[in-house]
A and B are shown apart, each in its own frame.
Chain A
Amino acid sequence: MITYLIRRILYAIPILIGVNLLTFALFFVINTPDDMARMQLGMKRVTPDAIEKWKQQRGYDKPLLFNSQAAGTKKLTDTIFFQKSASMFIFDFGYSDDGRSISREISTRMFPSLVIALPTFVVGLLLYITFALLMALFRGTMLDIAGVTVCVILMSISSLFYIIGGQFLVSKLWHWVPISGYAGGMDSLRFILLPVLIGIVSGIGASSRWYRTIFLEEVGRDYVRTARAKGLSELRVLFRHVLKNAMIPILTGVVAVIPLLFMGSLLTESFFGIPGLGSYTIDAIQAQDFGVVRAMVFLGSVLYIVGLILTDISYTVVDPRVRLQ
């Protein structure tokens, strides 16, 4: 397993270089360093000298990928791509265009993102699985049909509607929680309750339907029939046997996203004023802050790779027949 893990980590390096190159290319196809400077310097009284100075101070005055003026390896290393990318592999993300340390921003914003994403994920997962198992339990009955109909309705509604509707009903009309904002410590409960609730409700439709399909596939198998024949109650059959055997497809979708919980949610964080990584990313895209965008894409890629490795490991936990070689 150790060999397997080392191999996967080594595979990750070219993938990360590729992702980085792709981000770089996509970003600079749309924006030139001059555009970035103008975006940062504003509209009024921006002179060509000011643009040159801005680029020089931030290292954007070099060629993008290949420096024909330089000698030897500097042809590749004295470029924007190398200068901005190499340090990321030791997780030194540098500074954003407004001069703030990106690593520090990530470390302070990660927690608010997690505070929303983790309960949404955990409670949501439990609720979706329970709801899906109940639909499987009552399969073919009016309850099952009603459940599926509710799921289809829920998944057809835009997540923005859940947010605005939730804020209107829960915060504006009923005055239960603040409409938006964030606080640390125990007080954060009042602020995260609504976004977590909305996150869970907006995910019920799609997730529960998916899990129901998985469970229905399982309930037709021989071992389920055997369990029933042995006289086990329907609940025990479902929660003890069907659930356990349906874990592989569930884990495939679930474990891979666990590390990505750190990255936060773009929409929820923006609407609820949560100072997390989701809103950080969206602000950086709007401000054309390449430093932050590349750092967040890089971090997202790393976390995704970690998620995939964790998924592989989780297979060995739930199914002893799986071996990582």
Chain B
Amino acid sequence: MKLLMFIPLFLLGACDGGLWNNPYPANDKNVGDKGQSVFYTVFTERPKHLDPAQAYSENEYIFLAQIYQPPLQYHYLKRPYTLIPQAASEMPNVVYLDKNNRPLPASAPAEQVAYSLYEIHLRKDLKYQPHPAFALNAQGKPEYIGLSKEVLSKYYLLGDFSHTGSRDVTAADYVYQIKRLVHPAIHTPISGLMSEYIVGLKDYAVTLQKAQQVMQGQYLDLNKYALDGVEVVDAHTYRIKVYGKYPQFAYWLAMPFFSPMPAEADQFYAQDGMQQHNLTLDWWPVGSGPYYLSENNPNQRMALSHNPNYSGEVYPNEGEAGDREAGLLADAGKPLPLIDKVVFSLEKETIPYWNKFLQGYYDAAGISSDSFDQAVSVGVGGEANVTDEMRKQGISLSTSVATSTLYMGFNFLDATVGGDSEKARKLRRAISIVVDYEEFISIFANGRGVSAQSPLPPGIFGYREGESGLNHYVYDWVNGGPKRKSITEAKLLLSEAGYPNGLDEKTGQPLVIYLDTTATGVGSKSRLDWLRKQLDKINIQLVPRATDYNRFQDKIRRGDTQMFYFGWNADYPDPENFLFLLYGPQGKVDKGGENASNYSNPEFDRLFEQMKNVPNSPARQLIIDRMLEILRRDSPWLWGYHPKDYVLHHSWLHNSKPNKMANNNLKYLRIDDPQRDALRKQWNQPLLWPLWLLGISILASGWWLWRILRKREEAR
């Protein structure tokens, strides 16, 4: 009982401001010093890689994009997404060359262009974060490079190294990183792709492979091996030579793959004894961006702190229409970053995440299906807004359509649903009509999605709004909006496909279609039942084949499917990044590419090759229109839907605007810390009466039992 009475004292003593439920102890310097502006957010899955040559997923980029500075970035406010310089002082200068390396005019047709030469000029004020790899001893030599394993055995954290240093970012660092893309000990997801484009990269991979065999696991100094297609011009200029015309290359220059990497860092972490203590470049990045990783505990919490060596970037002073009215230009011209620290807490479960957001301990949150009704009300016109409960707390909602597409593919190699015969086309179209994606979005995604008319999501060049962007094979334009074609039309198509009333006209057997899916959980059953019901409208029997992820991938690779669920998240905002998913030479079975449907249409392929080299223009729009018409006619996918992201944020968070391409958004955010502190106190005062009631109940029960016992003893 005494212990129970002391608990509140412990709780009070343990945290700041008397808030017992505060998950951020004030005396913990890792979560922000007094006077610092701190942004509190979550990560739901521990990142696998923090090496910019290896990382490729969103949960990794949320850290890396704040730490590293690739040459380019996306404008935070402007739409459509626009590339602007980041580490570069200006947009890259591109020179086209013929096969004899002679310059060609900018308007030269793609067939004549043998190489494109990207010359990148860097800003001269770039400087790395303080890091022990740069520390120099009294003789001016690296202090922590060339240490023995015994010496290194006492270092477990970067903070254990007492000295740090820094230096200017140079063009050589960018070149070094490009070389790392084919380092034999590193898996770079885009190494294959880049080897096809960057001149000499493929041969360079072979050279490094041989060199590493000789080195037997020792540090491989990439500076000793030259790469033909990449050249350091001077300390702040470098050139990249790519094969042919590849306008999409500029987008890659905005991704962490092309960040600067100081050779010292690579050498520092390559020392024997480092990896045993989890001190690797894959876990402790060395960047020049607005933040550096100050705490790295992926099991619990990660924190980014303001890089003291970062400067030279200001909040944008222009955006798209409505941004000024929304207050998004209030901080125009202010030096970035606007917050000092970002604390990421690991939240694997949605319930604690949601409740902590409501208590004010997270500044922004996504919405899970469980809490959707509590957070969002959908108006008669379909517009989403926060509920009164949320509004009272000052919580606001921002929505944006993701640059991704979730679809169901038909396997073109399948004898029933595949192929380019008119019958197969009609069968696919009939199925496309009956699977009511509007209903699916409403039931299973809480309305968070837009039915797809093609692979291109809104916001990507080539996407058309309204009737001109309608898939006329599945929808009619009625009363100013799309209306799915009738079941009667679907039945007619099915009949023309050789399955009148769902029966094979040759055998009389019912048409059975198999769907491969990784959805094996209890929650997936309702989705599969729904899908079965959709096909049942035209008497097609759907048989879901639920399987684990590995088996599913294996089936896709072997082309052993009929229909399957798949999705794609854009690497960059260009139609090429979606349309290549249906490009013949990307066929999964034949080429091991990304075309999981194994769709192949020579005309589409020809147009794709033409389109990918053309800059965004009316001419490119016309090519894309033609390509989309072919795709809609052939229907290799049920186009599915483009998910909508809903993000809630508290009133003290400013400058939050969804940007689905840029990941380096944290530097633009601003927090009103006094307001947050006041509201947290108001919302989280502990309720004491249950504690007293509990104490009194325990005392009373103990006294009562004692009395009964005494009576029994006396009676003996």
Chain A residues with a Cβ under 8 A of chain B:
30-32, 35, 38-42, 44-50, 53-54, 57, 95, 98-101, 104-105, 108-109, 134, 137-138, 143, 164, 167, 171-183, 186-187, 189-191, 193, 233-235, 270-273, 275, 279-280, 283, 288
Quote the shortest CB–CB distance from A292 to chain B (angstroms): 12
Asked whether any CB of chain A lies closer than 8 Å to the CB of B276, the reply is yes
Which partner residue on chain A sits nearest B20 by CB separation?
Answer: A176
Cross-chain contact B713 with A104 (CB below 8 angstroms): no
Chain B residue contacts of A178, Cβ below 8 A:
21-23, 356
Is B149 at the interface (CB under 8 A from chain A)?
A: no
**With A167-B352, A179-B352 as contacts: A50 and B347 at CB distance below 8 Å:** no
Instruction: Find out whether the CB atom of B56 lies under 8 angstroms from the CB atom of A273.
Output: no
The complex places the Cα of A46 from the Cα of B713 at a distance, in Å, of 78
Q: Verify if B399 is at the interface (C-beta below 8 Å from A).
A: no
Among residues of A, the one whose C-beta sits closest to the C-beta of B46 is A283
Judging by beta carbons under 8 Å apart, are A179 and B21 in contact?
yes
Which of B23, B299, B691 contacts A179, CB < 8 Å? B23
Q: Are A45 and B192 in contact (CB under 8 A)?
A: yes
**Chain B residues whose CB sits within 8 angstroms of the CB of A50 once the complex forms:** 187, 189, 191-192
Asked if B686 and A186 sit within 8 Å, CB to CB, the answer is: no
**A104 and B277: CB pair below 8 A?**
yes
Is B352 in contact with A271, judged by CB distance below 8 angstroms? yes
Interface hit among B8-16, B229-237, B371-379: B8-16
Map CB proximity to A onto B20-57 as digits: 1 under 8 Å, 0 otherwise: 11110101100000000000000000101100000011
A98 touches B275 (CB 8 A): no
Q: Which of B283, B300, B553, B687 touches A273 (beta carbons < 8 Å)?
A: B300
Q: Are the CB atoms of B686 and A273 closer together than 8 Å?
A: no
- B466 on the interface (CB 8 Å rule)? no
Q: Is the CB of A183 within 8 A of B25?
A: yes
The docked-state distance in angstroms from the alpha carbon of A250 to that of B459 is: 67
Chain B residues within an 8 Å CB radius of A275: 297, 299-300, 346
**Cross-chain pairs A/B with CB under 8 angstroms, 17 sampled:** A41-B187, A41-B189, A101-B275, A101-B277, A101-B278, A104-B276, A172-B355, A173-B687, A176-B20, A176-B21, A176-B691, A177-B21, A179-B356, A190-B15, A190-B20, A273-B349, A280-B299
Instruction: Report Cα–Cα, A46/B56, bound state, in Å.
Output: 11
**Inside 8 A of A167's CB, which chain B residues have their CB?**
351-352, 355
B contacts with A: majority SS = loop
The 6 A-B residue pairs whose C-beta atoms are closest, nearest first, are A275-B299, A35-B550, A180-B352, A178-B23, A181-B23, A275-B300
Segment 158-186 of B: residues with Cβ below 8 Å from A: 184-185
B192 touches A190 (CB 8 A): no
Nearest chain A CB to B280 CB, angstrom units = 6
A47 touching B275 in the complex, CB below 8 Å, given contacts A42-B57, A167-B355 = no
- Point out which of B276, B278, B283 has the most chain A C-beta atoms below 10 A from its C-beta: B278
Cβ contact of B709, chosen from A41, A234, A270, A288, cutoff 8 A: A234
Task: Say whether B23 contacts A189, CB under 8 Å.
Answer: no
Q: With a CB–CB cut-off of 8 A, which chain A residues contact B346?
A: 273, 275
Does B685 sit within 8 A of A, measured CB to CB?
yes
Known: A176-B11, A183-B25, A271-B349. 12 other contacts (CB 8 A): A30-B550, A45-B192, A50-B187, A50-B191, A53-B184, A57-B185, A98-B49, A134-B705, A175-B685, A193-B7, A271-B352, A273-B346
A42 touches B14 (CB 8 A): no
- List B residues at the A interface (Cβ < 8 Å): 7, 10-11, 14-15, 19-23, 25, 27-28, 46, 48-49, 56-57, 184-185, 187, 189-193, 275-278, 280, 282-283, 297, 299-300, 345-349, 351-352, 355-356, 359, 548-550, 553-554, 569, 571, 592, 594, 684-687, 690-691, 705, 708-709, 712-713, 716
- The contact of B345 among A104, A181, A271, by CB within 8 Å, is A181
| Complexed CA–CA distance, A46 and B25 (Å) | 43
Select one of B20, B348, B553, B712 contacting A270, CB under 8 A.
Answer: B348
List of A residues within 8 angstroms of B571 by Cβ: 44
In the complex, what residue of chain B is closest to A189 when comparing beta carbons? B10
**Which chain A positions have C-beta within 8 A of B347?**
180, 273
Please measure, in the bound complex, the distance between the C-alpha atom of A44 and the C-alpha atom of B188, giving whole angstroms: 11
Q: Which of A38, A100, A109, A288 contacts B553 (CB 8 A)?
A: A38
What A residues does B10 contact at CB under 8 A? 186, 189-190
| A101 touching B276, Cβ below 8 Å | yes
- Per the bound structure, the CA–CA distance linking A33 and B643 in Å amounts to 33
B691 neighbours in A (Cβ, 8 Å): 174, 176
A40's nearest neighbour on chain B, judged by CB, is: B48
Residues A189 and B14 in contact in the complex (CB < 8 Å), given A171-B355, A283-B46: yes
Most A-side CB within 10 Å, residue of B300, B686, B687: B300
- The answer for the CA separation of A105 and B713 in the assembled complex, in Å, is 56
A235 vs B709: C-alpha distance when bound (angstroms): 9
A311 vs B48: C-alpha distance when bound (angstroms): 41
**Residues on B with beta carbons closer than 8 Å to the beta carbon of A95:** 275
Residue of B with least CB distance to A233? B713
Min CB distance B231 to A, Å, is 26
Q: Which residue of B lies closest to A179 (CB)?
A: B352
User: A57 vs B282: C-alpha distance in the bound complex, in angstroms?
Assistant: 15
Please give me the residue from chain A that is nearest to B691 by CB atom. A176
Distance in Å: Cβ of B350 to nearest Cβ of chain A: 11
Query: Which residues from B are CB-within-8-Å of A108?
Result: 299
Contact of A180 among B22, B23, B282, B548 (CB under 8 A): B23
Contacts of B359 in A (CB 8 A): 172, 175, 179
Cβ-defined partner of A177 (8 Å) among B20, B184, B687: B20
Cβ of A174 and Cβ of B14 under 8 Å apart?
no
Contact A175 B20 (CB under 8 A): yes
Task: Specify which chain A residues have a CB less than 8 angstroms from the CB of B351 in the assembled complex.
Answer: 164, 167, 271
Residues of the B chain whose Cβ atoms lie less than 8 Å from the Cβ of A137: 709
**Alpha-carbon distance between A46 and B596 when the two chains are bound, in angstroms:** 13
A180 and B349 contact, Cβ closer than 8 Å, known pairs A38-B553, A174-B690, A190-B14: yes
Q: Across the interface, do A174 and B299 meet the contact criterion of CB distance under 8 Å? A: no
User: Of residues B299, B348, B349, B550, which shows the largest number of chain A Cβ atoms within 10 Å of its Cβ?
Assistant: B299
Q: Which residues on the B side are within 8 Å of A47 (C-beta)?
A: 192, 592
Whole-angstrom distance between the alpha carbons of A182 and B21 in the complex? 12
Contact B280 A174 (CB under 8 A): no
User: Which of A38, A134, A187, A233 meets B28, CB within 8 Å?
Assistant: A187
The answer to whether B300 and A99 have CB atoms under 8 Å apart is no
A270/B686 in contact, CB under 8 A? no
Query: In the complex, what's the smallest C-beta–C-beta distance from A197 to chain B, in angstroms?
Result: 10
Docked Cα-Cα span, A180 to B346, in Å, equals: 10
In the complex, are the beta carbons of A104 and B278 less than 8 A apart?
yes
Q: Are B48 and A98 in contact (CB under 8 A)?
A: yes
Nearest to A41 among chain B residues (CB) is B187
Question: Which residues from chain A contact B23 at a C-beta distance below 8 Å?
Answer: 178-181, 191
Decide yes or no: A99 and B275 within 8 Å by CB, A42-B57, A187-B25, A189-B10 being known contacts: yes
User: B550 to chain A: closest CB distance in Å?
Assistant: 4
* A180-B347, A181-B23, A190-B20 known; A100-B278 Cβ under 8 A: yes
Instruction: State A285–B193 Cα separation when bound (angstroms).
Output: 31
Question: A280 vs B14: C-alpha distance in the bound complex, in angstroms?
Answer: 28
Bound form: Cα–Cα A233–B345 in Å: 55
Residue of A40, A176, A186 ringed by the most chain B CB atoms within 10 A: A176
Given A39-B549, A101-B276, A186-B14: A48 and B28 interface contact (C-beta under 8 Å):
no
Nearest CB in chain B to that of A37: its residue: B187
Closest residue on chain A to residue B349 by CB atoms: A271
Q: Please pick, from B21, B25, B282, the residue contacting A175 in the complex, using a CB distance under 8 A.
A: B21
Determine the distance from Cα of A47 to Cα of B49 in the docked complex, in whole angstroms. Answer: 18
> Are B11 and A44 touching (Cβ within 8 A)?
no
Instruction: Evaluate contact between A175 and B189: CB separation under 8 angstroms.
Output: no
